[in-house]
Amino acid sequence: MKKDIFTQQTSSTDCRARRGQVTTRHGTFQTPVFMPVGTQASVKAVTPENLVELGAEIILGNTYHLFLRPGHALIETLGGLHSFMHWERPILTDSGGFQIFSLQELATITEEGAAFRSHLDGSRLFLSPESAVAVQEALGADIMMVLDTCIPYPADHEEAARATALTGRWAKRCRQAQQPTGQLLFGIIQGGIYPDLRREAVSELVDIGFDGYAIGGLSVGEPKELMLAMLEETVPHLPADQPVYLMGVGTPEDLVEGVYRGVDMFDCVMPTRNARNGMLFTSQGRIVIKNARYREDQRPLDESCTCYTCRNYSRAYLRHLFQSHEILAYQLNSIHNLHYYCALMAQMRTAIETDRFSQFRKEFYENRLP
Amino acid sequence: MKKDIFTQQTSSTDCRARRGQVTTRHGTFQTPVFMPVGTQASVKAVTPENLVELGAEIILGNTYHLFLRPGHALIETLGGLHSFMHWERPILTDSGGFQIFSLQELATITEEGAAFRSHLDGSRLFLSPESAVAVQEALGADIMMVLDTCIPYPADHEEAARATALTGRWAKRCRQAQQPTGQLLFGIIQGGIYPDLRREAVSELVDIGFDGYAIGGLSVGEPKELMLAMLEETVPHLPADQPVYLMGVGTPEDLVEGVYRGVDMFDCVMPTRNARNGMLFTSQGRIVIKNARYREDQRPLDESCTCYTCRNYSRAYLRHLFQSHEILAYQLNSIHNLHYYCALMAQMRTAIETDRFSQFRKEFYENRLP
């Protein structure tokens, strides 16, 4: 069932950073890539046209949220998620596992699947590995994720081993349940912070065989060094000819460090959520736009940025909009932060193409103001 | 001081509807016109590019709000309201009078001006006719409004007469305070629901001489028939070669009836506010998008609409966004409602050009579903 979806174009001589592309039913995207998060069939506060202009080539949808509202059956009836939300490029959907565990105090995990309550109306719901795939097939995702269990941090070795093993069994059921629709399915490597469990998970998932591999269960509260160490324990053991996706990560620094360690795909709510909270990313560091120092500041957020927001609006105006709770503040801030993330990935891709990634990484940190 | 800013192109043979254009420092707009409201230096939930695409030729800013936050001095320092908010077409600012009275329980009116408290921080503020003009000059408005008093409904003849006379004296002070900047200044006709007071106000304001005349104090709770009757008592007495502006009005029906009675300019928060509340205007009437009947409705809001929202999104999707409290709901709904208003004005302009306005008005009502 494995498809040749990943083409590696160049690699780096002094690190694992690599340049490639992934091909899906809705076209090809360039890697390393950042995927803006469109939880409820909308990347918050931006239009699909904004996304195309700021350089997004693939977005992520959240199965858990769409399963609850408006429901995957309705979206399928209406022609699938792409048509529903007016987005023609690739979409990756998660499996719902992470949301079930993070939004629920009382999710019940059995061998069969996950029983949980809707956070919207309290109704009882159930997601099995098979139904998680069926829901994603109905949504029309280009890349689907297996249903996995989430290992909290900290968790002892026994608990982590048990959850990792269950994720492995669920992964196999997901692969078996998949219909021949041309949609891709990625496995998820769990294992917590235990290198032996991570390697066992890799071995088990690769034996099943997926179109790509995600690294899950990181950025859940563990120290940053531990996250990077787990990447180093995992990525080198994954098949070199398939895409590697680090789920739910992260800061701009995390993206640079992830690419350095061989990751091809990232997603995170940080650029959009921080935008709505008035925290903006620039090449020199972070800006908290409500700060009084920006009251009369005529400069754009980032003098080196080419986004719609920086081309047309001053920090003073953005501060005014944010202080006035204007919806346009969320729009302009989200466009800027997403552009920052996508442009950062584009810069990394260019650096890898000329085998300058380690130099890029060095300059990235040097540019940051103290 | 009167300038030839209004060119009448065609008029109707069986009603007062007329087709013209108004020229300002930031270019010309076609009348009859609807002006989207940009209270705090932003038309809520849309970008200036959205406004241009949906056909807005002039927008309105609220002096009261901008005076309080971020302050007219700051906006002047930053190059004026146009540059601040990235809008290159004409801007009309109100004088602040209406907001002072409608947002304040304890505004104190004296001959000198209006003392009031900021609704943001309770600080004591004062606006005189002279300072209202100075604030609007600092903002860089193309069309400024005189400071007026607002007459509540109901108000007896004596109260209305007193307020109307004060508005007249303030209007004179505004005209005298004006600097030779090329900015236009409109007078405001008060008079409540009393035809004699309306005519006295017209006479007094025309004697002072303004670049255009606004009809104020309507749509403040009086029956619709009374509003229309007041228009009929007022418009015919205004100079035929100057623009007539009906302030704060109104529904699509109000726009049609206003144009029928000779009004050239309108503004209202209704299209944007209703959009954020999920009430959408169509050629067949109103849609409350949260209604369950739209759950699976694949049609656009209005099959005859050419706006960005109707070109790309279904009612089912718009319902989902609204139910999910997605910011994109406010964006798409606002674009549609503003487009509806601007397109309605464009249709009226075309009808007047061929002297078919009365026929247009008849068909406008016939198209509405019961």
Per residue in B117-146, pLDDT tens? Answer: 998 998 999 999 999 999 999 999 999 999
pLDDT of res. A210: 98
pLDDT digits (tens, 9 = 90+) for A10-25: 999 999 999 999 999 9
Residues of chain B neighbouring A42 (CB-CB closer than 8 A): 321, 324, 326-328
Confidence of residue A1 (pLDDT cuts 50, 70, 90): low
Q: Beta partners for B184?
A: B143
Report the C-alpha gap between A305 and A337 in whole angstroms.
10
Of B141, B33, B28, nearest to B80 (Cα)?
B141
A298 with B78: Cβ contact below 8 A: yes
A69 with B45: Cβ contact below 8 A: no
φ, ψ for residue A129 (rounded to 5)?
Answer: -55, -40
Q: Are B312 and B223 in contact (CB under 8 A)?
A: no
pLDDT of res. A69: 96
Alpha helices in A245-295 (DSSP H): 252-260, 270-276
A296 to chain B, any CB pair closer than 8 A? The answer is yes
pLDDT digits (tens, 9 = 90+) for A205-246: 999 999 999 999 999 999 999 999 999 999 999 999 999 999
Confidence of residue B2 (pLDDT cuts 50, 70, 90): low
Please determine, for residue B59, whether its predicted confidence score (pLDDT) is greater than 90: yes
Q: What is the mean pLDDT of chain A?
A: 96
Q: Are B115 and B108 in contact (CB under 8 A)?
A: yes
Of A361, A368, A351, nearest to A257 (Cα)?
A361
DSSP 3-state of A322:
helix
pLDDT of res. A106: 72
Exposed / middle / buried, residue B290 (Cβ in 10 Å: 0-12, 13-18, 19+) = middle
Report the C-alpha gap between A328 and A347 in whole angstroms.
28
Q: Are A256 and A362 in contact (CB under 8 A)?
A: no
Provide the percentage of residues in chain B whose pLDDT is more than 70.
99
A344 to chain B, any CB pair closer than 8 A? The answer is no
Report the C-alpha gap between B9 and B206 in whole angstroms.
23
Q: Which residue has the tokens 């087709």?
A: B19
Report the C-alpha gap between A191 and A203 in whole angstroms.
12
CA distances from B256 to A3, B27, B235, B260, B287 (A): 61, 25, 15, 6, 20
pLDDT digits (tens, 9 = 90+) for A122-143: 899 999 999 999 999 999 999 9
CA distance B70 to chain A (A): 6
pLDDT of res. A2: 59
Residues of chain A neighbouring B46 (CB-CB closer than 8 A): 328
Confidence of residue B105 (pLDDT cuts 50, 70, 90): confident
pLDDT digits (tens, 9 = 90+) for A246-281: 999 999 999 999 999 999 999 999 999 999 999 999
pLDDT digits (tens, 9 = 90+) for A52-107: 999 999 999 999 999 999 999 999 999 999 999 999 999 999 999 888 888 767 78
| Rounded average pLDDT over B63-86 | 97
DSSP 3-state of B113:
coil
Q: What is the Cα gyration radius of chain B?
A: 20
Residues of chain A neighbouring B47 (CB-CB closer than 8 A): 328, 331
Report the C-alpha gap between B194 and A35 in whole angstroms.
63
Task: Dig out the tokens for A209 from the structure.
Answer: 């065989």
Of B125, B211, B328, nearest to A330 (Cα)?
B328
CA distances from B187 to A140, A162, A254, B193 (A): 59, 78, 60, 18
CA distance A354 to chain B (A): 38
Residues 47-106 of A with CB under 8 A from B: 47-48, 69-70, 74, 77-79, 84-86
Q: Are B126 and B117 in contact (CB under 8 A)?
A: no
pLDDT digits (tens, 9 = 90+) for B177-208: 999 999 999 999 999 999 999 999 999 999 99
Nearest by CB to residue A330, choosing from B78, B317, B327, is B327
Report the C-alpha gap between B320 and A84 in whole angstroms.
10
Report the C-alpha gap between B127 and B120 in whole angstroms.
16
A323 to chain B, any CB pair closer than 8 A? The answer is yes
Of A357, A364, A145, A192, nearest to A261 (Cα)?
A357
pLDDT digits (tens, 9 = 90+) for B231-280: 999 999 999 999 999 999 999 999 999 999 999 999 999 999 999 999 99
Helices B357-366 and B252-260: crossing angle in degrees, nearest 10, is: 160
Q: Which residue has the tokens 């909009």?
A: A321
ipTM of the complex as predicted: 0.98
DSSP string, B185-220: EEEEE--TT-HHHHHHHHHHHHHH--SEEEE-S-SS
Report the C-alpha gap between A132 and A134 in whole angstroms.
5
pLDDT of res. A41: 98
Report the C-alpha gap between B324 and B25 in whole angstroms.
43
A46 to chain B, any CB pair closer than 8 A? The answer is yes
Residues of chain B neighbouring A295 (CB-CB closer than 8 A): 70, 74
DSSP 3-state of A185:
strand
Which of A39, A42, A269, A314 would you mutate first to test chain B, the one with the most B CBs within 10 A? A42
Exposed / middle / buried, residue A339 (Cβ in 10 Å: 0-12, 13-18, 19+) = buried
Report the C-alpha gap between B5 and B2 in whole angstroms.
9
Report the C-alpha gap between B284 and B144 in whole angstroms.
36
Exposed / middle / buried, residue A208 (Cβ in 10 Å: 0-12, 13-18, 19+) = middle
Please determine, for residue B229, whether its predicted confidence score (pLDDT) is greater than 70: yes
Nearest by CB to residue A316, choosing from B78, B295, B317, is B78
Report the C-alpha gap between A33 and A20 in whole angstroms.
10
Helices A195-208 and A157-177: crossing angle in degrees, nearest 10, is: 10
Please determine, for residue A329, whether its predicted confidence score (pLDDT) is greater than 90: yes
- DSSP state for residue B78 in the 8-state scheme: T
Nearest by CB to residue B296, choosing from A41, A48, A74, is A74
pLDDT digits (tens, 9 = 90+) for B200-222: 999 999 999 999 999 999 999 99
Residues of chain A neighbouring B292 (CB-CB closer than 8 A): none
Q: Are B231 and B261 in contact (CB under 8 A)?
A: yes
B40 to chain A, any CB pair closer than 8 A? The answer is yes
B45 with A323: Cβ contact below 8 A: no
Q: Are A81 and A141 in contact (CB under 8 A)?
A: yes
pLDDT of res. B240: 97
B314 to chain A, any CB pair closer than 8 A? The answer is yes
- Does this model's pTM top 0.95? My answer is yes
Report the C-alpha gap between A273 and A62 in whole angstroms.
15
Report the C-alpha gap between A68 and A139 in whole angstroms.
13
B324 to chain A, any CB pair closer than 8 A? The answer is yes
pLDDT of res. A97: 86
DSSP 3-state of A60:
strand
Confidence of residue B49 (pLDDT cuts 50, 70, 90): very high
Q: Which helix (H) or strand (E) holds B246?
A: strand B244-246
